[in-house]
Amino acid sequence: MNAQPPKMHGIKITDLLKAWVMLVSLTLASFAMSYLEAGFLAKISPLIIAVMILLKSRIILTRYLGLMQTSAWYMMLSATIFIIIVICAGLMATL
In a domain, 1, yes or no: no
| Helices 71-93 + 40-59 axis angle, to 10 | 170
Whether 1 has a pLDDT exceeding 60, the answer reads: no
Q: Name the residue range of residue 37's domain.
A: 13-93
Residue 3 located in a structural domain: no
Total number of domains constituting the chain: 1
What is the pLDDT, as a whole number, of residue 30?
Answer: 79
Is 80 inside a domain boundary? yes
What pLDDT, on the 0 to 100 scale, is given for residue 9?
Answer: 57
pLDDT, one tens digit per residue, over 5-53 is 555 556 677 878 888 898 899 888 878 877 777 777 767 777 777 788 8
Closest CA to 64 of 77, 79, 51: 77
The residues facing 30 across adjacent strands are: none
